[in-house]
Chains A and B, each alone.
Chain A
Amino acid sequence: MTSSIKMAPPAPPPPMAARTIWRRALSVSTIGPLAALVLACVYFSLQTDRFLTGPNFSLILQQVMVVGTLAVGQTLVILTAGIDLSNGAIMAFGSIVMTRFAVDGGVHPLLAIAAGIAVCGLFGAANGLLVTRVKLPPFIVTLGMLNIAYALTHVYSDEKTVSKLPPMLTALGRTFDLGGTRVTYGTVVALVLFGVFAFVLGQTAWGRRVYATGNNPEATRLTGVPTRRVLLAVYTVAGLVYGVAALLLVARTGVGDPKAGQTENLESITAVVLGGTSLFGGRGAVLGTLVGALIVGVFRNGLQLTGVAPIYQILITGVLVILAVAVDRISRGRNR
């Protein structure tokens, strides 16, 4: 990814401060994915009357929230023209730390949760330090960290699923009633997280620095922005977000599962790309990522409800990803 930054032509100046959060959320790169999501929903509603119901939408939200939360962190990293292959493995390790601390260590569940999230934050910080201090490409750093976290997960868990969790660890898996539909607290937490990061990225100086660093790190550094500190913060914050994903995962599955998180790194990248965020950095929005995650979830659920073989979901995801990047590439070319 670093090399592609260097090869990129002089990018447009950092986004102007006057842009509102909604303008950015509904920027051109998000319209395509949103249209695809809406049309997919319309299509599945026509195919089966089980699709367009409150409980089914609550279910889809529930199902995409773990990957969606990982994708929030992934969006931060990709906005800086990086990539994070390690997030699923970091999440798995965090979930094992939480559950083992609470079940085998007898630690208070809240402390165990904090420990799990903190460990994920440390992994993120380690990624960030290696990228900024040792100047390694994010792809390589996170590829290495993927293996390290995966191995530690299996060593620390002793290959065993941690079960019989204290209720506090799975509290986010419980539901409340919203107009006759059961919604999990985890869904709310994840949606709030999306809202927070939409605000931070769109409305704060730090957010603009993230975009600027991704757009053109050298120019941004020359304007006096400490880009290395921005990058380090991005990877660390992403790590903490993966910790929240770990908690959501534990709440959703009700266990600490060492085999979890093996495909989530690519799934989170898929969500980010489908949501219109550019892999070349500096362009995109976290709410687009939510749309991207929902597209995958809607297709999985809709195809299942209509009885179509699940392999077509994978086929469609592949087509969508390439289309999304192609659209980004074409629109970027026109901006030149």
Chain B
Amino acid sequence: MKATLKRRHRRTGIAAALALVVLGVPALAACGSGAGDDGAVKVGLITKTETNPFFVKMKEGAQAAADANGLELIAAAGAYDGDNQGQLTAIENMIAAGVKGILITPSDTAAIVPTIQKARDAGIMVIALDTPTDPQDATDALFATDNFKAGELIGAFAKARFAGAPAKIATLDLAPGVTVGQLRHDGFLKGFGIAEGDPQLVCSADTQGDQAKGQSAMENCLQKDPGIDLVYTINEPAALGAHTAVEAAGRAGEVTIVSVDGGCTGIQGVEDGKIAATSQQYPLKMAQLGVEAVAAFAKDGTKAGGYTDTGVTLVAGEPVTGVESKDVAYGKENCWG
């Protein structure tokens, strides 16, 4: 019995030590964030993931705008792209935290809607950034890139570059059933002037927007048809992966790769000639406009509404006639990541 008691004491000691460590970590973390400040108006930002440079830039823009407007920013993200439950939990916690507005890039555009409604019922203004909800009017407003136009721009660029010559096209898409990917894909086809099912489309594959998967997809496409000379990619990581595959096949310089995003790595790819052209979008601006809208709402109750196009610019290594584009220097000035 005595031995048991002694052991128990020792374990209580371990437990106490454990608790101390546990509580020390958030205390440290809290030092840098001004926690416990319940005075400032709060604005929540919920992104799809925390690590994607696009969302890192978005958070940066939100933080800068929050600082400029005297707002406190609370950020959260899903554990992975498509993590609806994580975003749902984040919205609930933000309602509990008493935020005035929530900016969200929905991972599951339909499934998140009931929870967004809960936030709006609690008097919170909700703005979708980058990706619209389904239905779009489930949020008060949408600040996003016109993804169809982004695709159309690179489609038109490719068309001018091929100047009527027939192409063998591979499309490296996002994933089935994701609106953003579908819009860019359709835009590209329209810009190039062909319809789905056109014989010039020789290969299509999903990449999840991932560089390694983009590379495998392109390798497989080149197996299917070694003569591919035009590649549409959902984003720049996929484009760079595709370039690696093309280079390994000994066809660098013969294949035109076009993409969407405008991240700094991607623009560097344009400068290096790996990517012919890309449609640049502006996550920082989305977040900035979003935070400013929340600041205005907190001030006098004006709600943002409808869709605001945050703009898209074609950045090309070598411009083609008939299609307006900016050069790499411009792209670098405005890139993210």
Contact = CB atoms under 8 A, between A and B. Distances in A.
A249 B107 CA distance: 17
B132 to A, nearest CB: 15
A299 interface: yes
A259 B177 contact: no
A331 B35 contact: no
A309 B33 contact: yes
Interface in B63-78: 72-77
Interface stretch (B10-18, B152-160, B251-259, B320-328): B10-18
Interface string A294-331: 00000111111111111110011001100110010011
A331 B98 CA distance: 43
Contact of A301 (B22, B30, B77, B96): B96
B80 interface: yes
Interface string A5-33: 00000000000000000000000100110
Given A50-B96, A260-B84, A304-B90, A315 B25 contact: yes
A47 B36 contact: yes
Contacts of A43: 23, 26-27
B8 interface: yes
A257 B50 contact: no
Interface residues of A, number: 56
Contacts of B90: 304, 310
Interface residues of B, number: 54
Interface stretch (A34-42, A69-77, A108-116, A133-141): A34-42
B301 interface: no
A59 interface: yes
Nearest to A260: B85
A142 interface: no
B329 interface: no
A334 interface: yes
Contacts of B8: 28
A323 B8 CA distance: 17
A295 to B, nearest CB: 8
B74 A262 contact: no
A255 B22 contact: no
Given A259-B82, A307-B34, A308-B26, 16 more contacts: A31-B11, A39-B22, A62-B92, A159-B175, A253-B111, A255-B111, A262-B83, A303-B29, A304-B96, A308-B30, A309-B75, A310-B77, A310-B90, A312-B29, A320-B22, A331-B11
27 contacts: A28-B11, A31-B11, A31-B15, A32-B14, A43-B23, A43-B26, A50-B96, A59-B93, A62-B92, A159-B177, A160-B177, A163-B111, A255-B108, A257-B84, A257-B111, A259-B83, A263-B83, A301-B96, A303-B26, A306-B30, A306-B35, A307-B37, A307-B73, A308-B29, A308-B35, A319-B25, A331-B11
For the complex of A and B, 9 pairs with smallest distance between CB atoms: A32-B15, A306-B35, A259-B82, A304-B93, A255-B111, A312-B29, A39-B19, A254-B114, A35-B15
